[in-house]
Structure 1
Amino acid sequence: MNCESIRELVSVHGPFVSVYLPSDVVEWNVLRHCLSVQDADPAVLAALDDALGRGTAAGRGLIATRDGVLVDMSPAWTPHAAVARVSDLPYLLPLVPRHAVRAPEASLVAAGRAREDAVSGSGDRTVFDQFMFESARPEGPVVQGVGRCAAALRAGNADALVIVEGALRDRAVWVGGTHRDQVAEEEADLRALGMPVDHQRADEALPMAALVVGADVLVAPEDLPLTDGVGVLLRHP
């Protein structure tokens, strides 16, 4: 599933239930109980019961609200463990592409074609290669770390958000109420703008902010050394 396919979720209001079942080892009933403990809406659980009752549950990712099941598909990559969350924002990372890091010379060649490929729509692999190439340049238009990446997203200065798989864990950021593109590492950054703020999971809030500002969202392998496990390819230096 590409970013354009999930971008429509930016206008949907939660709470969201996000479920990813990597294998038959974890039964839906176990995850259902976890969601109930998190005060999931019974109507949403019933909708998930119905969806998962059709076909094999293993290898599926589902996102649901009170309006029903919005996403029911195979994830782009499989999380190490089953996921069952209730939150104000959906957990989208398993739905977006995960890319291996190429050798530097391969990224260099790909980056040289980046603009041409972007016009022709060749996809997010080129965007990731461009991120890797620019990250290696001392003056490349890339920032790393939760604080700097959040600032870039707030300013709408982001072509792509790259998150290392599993790096953000339970880390949280601040979100400016219904302004989903307004994210910050420090609460004061949003309070200064006169916004109501909420504390949200970074692995949900940062991808949502990226989608709102029109940026791509990509997942990198666990061994990519990014500060805080997150980086942004800027639209302009």
Structure 2
Amino acid sequence: MHSDRFRPLVDTEGPFVSIYFDDSHDTQDAAAQLDARLRDVRKHLEEQSVDTAVIEAMDGAVRGTHPPVGRSGRAVIASGDTVVVDEHLIRPPTTTVIRVSELPYLIPIVEHGLLHTVYLLVAVDHTGADVTLHRAGRVSTQTVEGEGYPVHKAKSAEHEFGGAQPRVDEAIRKNIREVADRVTQLVDESGAALVFIEGEVSARTELVAALPERVAEKAVQLQGGGRTAGTDQAEVQHEIGQEFLTRRLATIDDAAQRFAAGRGTGLAVEGLADVTAALRDGAVDTLIIGDLGDATVVADTELATIAPDADTLSDLGAAPERTLRADEALPLLAVATGAALVRTDERLSPADGIGAVLRYAENSSAG
């Protein structure tokens, strides 16, 4: 997962409140269930003496966005009364996670979040399209109505050879081009990483063919859905979730292969000592996060120097001013240095629950 989306957290002062919960909208009482979860979250935050303004800001962020379709999780991270991160997750967490800490907690997003927070969903037919822009949990939809007419196929050979069919074909091409132009404009303006396309096979195929190559390579055709009333949006969202899951697994697989290949060559390290050393040097290309448990690291006041223990930090000429959870500090330091983040699965089990693929070979490991 690219870390650019978390960059605002690096420049934000704590303490932070990080919340992860199930906000699925797949039952008739989904709204009531959400209310109950938010009341529970509020209770826990009040017990931890979190300011009311922070609680209200987080509650308002959740209630103020379009509800998801089907199974979903939610990630909300706030600093003070400002919500810095607000994202939907492909899968809801098994239990609600609430942390009030010096640093934000990112791992559940790395594990269950969308690889790309900005994407388009295009429901297309031969008359136009409904184009929905998804941007970090915010949803906006617009309609493109093509001016080409008629778009219905000729129903007789007489019409077919009498000139009606070419007019129909040209009308369809005109409408598809209008949709392609608008989709291209939205991709360029929003930086969308993926374009999901639903609708009849012919309309989907024609739209992809009409897109410029830089946009067409981002297109993913969905088997379900369409522009007609009564479309099963839960099925569409399931397909989108499966596509993101497939891409996440491919990212883990790539990291696992690079990690295995880098062992013994200086291009991969594992364990708290060596990974913190690589992070200090800005050498980490991809941080591989496993089960860190309650492990801690120490840092100076500004988090400019970090080490697995106070002695190592002192040897580096820094005063051990802060003791931090490793599962919060290491991902945030990776974000600060532009490293990608990957949550491990059974293919990866680095020492101490942490590993890294490096940008370049390090000459020596931490002492």
- What TM-score do the two structures reach when normalised by structure 1? 0.77
Counterpart Cα distance in 1 of 2:7 and 2:250: 20
* Aligned amino acid, residue 5 of structure 2: S
Structure 1 unaligned segments of length 5 or more: list them. Answer: 100-119
Tell me the residue number matched to 2:311: 188
Tell me the residue number matched to 2:341: 217
Q: Does 1:37 align with 2:51?
A: no
* Aligned amino acid, residue 289 of structure 2: I
Counterpart Cα distance in 2 of 1:42 and 1:191: 39
* Aligned amino acid, residue 38 of structure 2: W
CA deviations on 1:154-180 (whole Å, 9 max, x unpaired) are 12111110112xx1132221122222x
Taking the TM superposition and a 5 Å limit, the aligned residue runs for 1:1-237 are 2-23=2-23, 24=33, 27-54=37-64, 56=67, 59-75=73-89, 77-96=91-110, 128-137=252-261, 138-140=263-265, 141-164=267-290, 167-179=291-303, 181-192=304-315, 193-221=317-345, 224-237=348-361
8 Å contact kept, 2:53–2:81:
no
8 Å contact kept, 1:98–1:218:
no
Counterpart Cα distance in 2 of 1:223 and 1:91: 23
Identity of aligned residues (%): 34
Cα 1:170–1:80, aligned 2, differ >3 Å: closer, same or farther? farther
Structure 2 unaligned segments of length 5 or more: list them. Answer: 24-32, 114-213, 219-246, 362-367
Tell me the residue number matched to 2:119: none
Counterpart Cα distance in 2 of 1:27 and 1:98: 19
Alignment partner of 1:136: what SS?
helix
Counterpart Cα distance in 1 of 2:326 and 2:90: 20
CA deviations on 1:36-84 (whole Å, 9 max, x unpaired) are 2222222111212222333559621101112411122213554332111
> Computing the radius of gyration over CA atoms, which structure comes out larger, 1 or 2?
2
Q: Tell me the matched-pair count.
A: 213
The worse-fitting range, judged by mean Cα deviation, of 41-50 and 83-92 is: 41-50
Shift of 1:96: 2.6
Counterpart Cα distance in 1 of 2:7 and 2:40: 30
Cα 1:178–1:20, aligned 2, differ >3 Å: closer, same or farther? same
- What TM-score do the two structures reach when normalised by structure 2? 0.52
Shift of 1:149: 0.9
8 Å contact kept, 1:207–1:217:
yes
Cα 1:76–1:144, aligned 2, differ >3 Å: closer, same or farther? farther
* Aligned amino acid, residue 38 of structure 1: Q
Alignment partner of 1:21: what SS?
strand
Counterpart Cα distance in 2 of 1:76 and 1:10: 24
Counterpart Cα distance in 2 of 1:222 and 1:129: 10
